Structure 1
Amino acid sequence: MANSIPLWVSSQYNRNVSLAPESNTRSRTRRAILDAAVSLLSKDATASLSDIAAEAGVGRTTVHRYFPERADLLKAISTDALEQIETMSTRARLDEGPAIDGLRRLCQEYFELGEVLNLLFNNPQLITNEEWTNPTEADHALDDLVKRGLADGEFADHVTPQWAVHVLWSLLYAGWSHVEQDGVSKHEALTRTIATLTNALKR
Structure 2
Amino acid sequence: MDTAVSSTGARARTRRAILDAGTAVLAQNPTASLADVAAAAGVGRTTVHRYFAERSDLVDAIGMDVLDKIGAATDRARPDDGPALTALERICQEYFELGESLAIIFDESMAATWNWESWEEDTEADRALARLVDRGREEGTLDGRLDTDWIVQVLWSLLYVAWQRNRGGDTKHNALSLCLYTLRKSVGAPS
After TM superposition, the structure 1 = structure 2 runs for residues 22-61 of structure 1, keeping only pairs within 5 Å, are 22-61=7-46
User: Is 1:69 matched up with 2:60?
Assistant: no
Deviation at 1:188, TM superposition (A): 1.5
User: 2:28 aligns to what SS in structure 1?
Assistant: coil
Tell me the distance in 2 between the aligned counterparts of 1:151 and 1:195. Answer: 22
Q: Which residue does 2:172 correspond to in 1?
A: 186
Q: Which residue does 1:173 correspond to in 2?
A: 160
1:103-155: CA deviation from partner (whole Å, max 9, x where unpaired): 01101110111112111211234666320111110111111111111111111
Q: Report if the CA contact (8 A) 1:33-1:53 is conserved.
A: yes
Give the count of matched residue pairs: 187
Tell me the distance in 2 between the aligned counterparts of 1:102 and 1:21. Answer: 40
Tell me the distance in 2 between the aligned counterparts of 1:146 and 1:127. Answer: 29
Q: Report if the CA contact (8 A) 1:78-1:126 is conserved.
A: no
After TM superposition, the structure 1 = structure 2 runs for residues 1-203 of structure 1, keeping only pairs within 5 Å, are 17-122=2-107, 123-125=110-112, 129-181=116-168, 183-203=169-189
Tell me the distance in 2 between the aligned counterparts of 1:28 and 1:142. Answer: 31
Tell me the distance in 2 between the aligned counterparts of 1:129 and 1:80. Answer: 11
1:149-178: CA deviation from partner (whole Å, max 9, x where unpaired): 111111112221100111011000000000
Q: Report if the CA contact (8 A) 1:120-1:126 is conserved.
A: no
Q: CA RMSD for the aligned pairs?
A: 1.4
Q: Report if the CA contact (8 A) 2:84-2:141 is conserved.
A: yes
Tell me the distance in 1 between the aligned counterparts of 2:156 and 2:27. Answer: 17
Structure 1 runs not aligned, ≥5 long: 1-13
Tell me the distance in 2 between the aligned counterparts of 1:128 and 1:52. Answer: 19
Larger RCO, structure (CA 8 Å, separation 6 or more): 2
Q: Work out which of the two has the higher radius of gyration on C-alpha atoms and give 1 or 2.
A: 1
TM-score normalized by the length of structure 2 = 0.93
Tell me the distance in 1 between the aligned counterparts of 2:114 and 2:159. Answer: 17
Q: Report if the CA contact (8 A) 2:56-2:114 is conserved.
A: no
User: 2:40 aligns to what SS in structure 1?
Assistant: helix
TM-score normalized by the length of structure 1 = 0.88
Tell me the distance in 2 between the aligned counterparts of 1:124 and 1:167. Answer: 21
Tell me the distance in 2 between the aligned counterparts of 1:144 and 1:131. Answer: 20
Tell me the distance in 2 between the aligned counterparts of 1:169 and 1:26. Answer: 34
